[in-house]
Amino acid sequence: MTVQETYARFAKFYDAYTAQYVGDIPFYLVAVAGRQPPLLEVGCGSGRILVALLRAGHTVTGVDVSEEMLALAQRKLKQEPLGRKGALLLHDFAKGPLPGRYGAALITFYTFNYVPPHERLAFLKNLGRNLVEGAPVILHLFYPTVLVHPELDGQWQAKGRYRIDGEEIALLDCRRMLDEHTEERRQRYESSTGTSEEIQTVRYYLSPVEMAGLLSAAGFAQVRVGWDLQFEHLAPLTGRNEPSGEYMVMAERMVSQG
């Protein structure tokens, strides 16, 4: 199943699942303060971060590979007083760049972890072609839970209950490592009426050292890493530090990419 097909199924659950996740927003607001407009959010999904950026006064273009996710984001923009400062585009950076230039790019909420290994370098090079020189790219990257808790590998875990379209939905989650870099995640949504739907995705873990190497090869420099969601904690990568959870990477577009 392609990423597009997966998110076509996942879209109806997405807002309920991610609405409580707000810890990354302050990081982005600090990171893009004073940056040349417009900004670019890659993997904008249903607009959770995009709306926060608009409310802070930024002009933002949100990009996603899922038409269903963009439809959700479009509904939110129509309800926002500053929605006119937002634009939405269906685009895959693995296939090519966009027209125009942007003052910063945010690859949010583990989006880059879904990019297959053979597409990563092209994705970053194409993105770089859309950034003004010196513009930052910021990536929010995941660390597989079962590398911290191997006892959970292949085990179903209850992840909460949500109300979606008037129904109570229970979310169960099962993760296992297919190899040292590849996580398979299965999510089962069970409704109070007895129906259920299961969605399977694959995510690819990259270490900070691997991510820094990719960024350098794609024409970025000044790589910094943050082991939490605090912007002021970003620092140059030293040694082969391994994270124990999600982490942030920030680099600057420095090399002319044509």
Predicted pLDDT of residue 1: 60
Predicted pLDDT of residue 8: 62
Residues 235 and 111 in one domain: yes
Residues 230 and 247 in one domain: yes
Predicted pLDDT of residue 17: 76
Residues 67 and 99 in one domain: yes
Spatial separation of the C-alpha atoms in residues 115 and 3, rounded to whole Å: 9
Reported as a single tens digit per residue, the pLDDT across 76-129 is 999 999 999 999 999 999 999 999 999 999 999 999 999 999 999 999 999 999
Residues 139 and 149 in one domain: no
CATH code for the domain in which residue 123 is found: 3.40.50.150
Spatial separation of the C-alpha atoms in residues 245 and 90, rounded to whole Å: 30
- Mean pLDDT of all residues in the chain? 93
Task: Judge whether residue 7 has pLDDT over 90.
Answer: no
Residues 17 and 89 in one domain: yes
Predicted pLDDT of residue 255: 56
Question: Which of 204, 222, 238 represents a domain boundary (last residue)?
Answer: 204
Residues 117 and 194 in one domain: no
Are 143 and 226 within 8 A, CB to CB? no
In a domain, 238, yes or no: yes
Tokens of 96: 């090519």
Residues 82 and 121 in one domain: yes
Residues 128 and 149 in one domain: no
Reported as a single tens digit per residue, the pLDDT across 122-148 is 999 999 999 999 999 999 999 999 999
Percentage of residues in the chain with pLDDT exceeding 70? 95
Sheet with 39-42, strands from edge to edge, namely: 86-90, 60-64, 39-42, 105-107, 136-141, 247-253, 220-226, 235-236
Reported as a single tens digit per residue, the pLDDT across 13-40 is 888 778 778 999 999 999 999 999 999 9
Question: Which of 204, 219, 239 represents a domain boundary (last residue)?
Answer: 204
> What is the reported pTM?
0.94
Predicted pLDDT of residue 103: 98
Residues 103 and 231 in one domain: yes
Residues 149 and 186 in one domain: yes
In a domain, 258, yes or no: no
Give the confidence band of 2 by pLDDT, cuts at 50, 70, 90: low
Residues 70 and 116 in one domain: yes
Q: Look up the domain containing 173 and give its range.
A: 145-204
Reported as a single tens digit per residue, the pLDDT across 165-204 is 888 999 999 999 999 999 999 999 999 888 999 999 999 9
Spatial separation of the C-alpha atoms in residues 221 and 240, rounded to whole Å: 18
Strands (E), 142-232: 156-164, 167-179, 182-191, 196-204, 220-226
In a domain, 105, yes or no: yes
Provide the domain count of the chain. Answer: 2
Residues 115 and 58 in one domain: yes
Predicted pLDDT of residue 121: 98
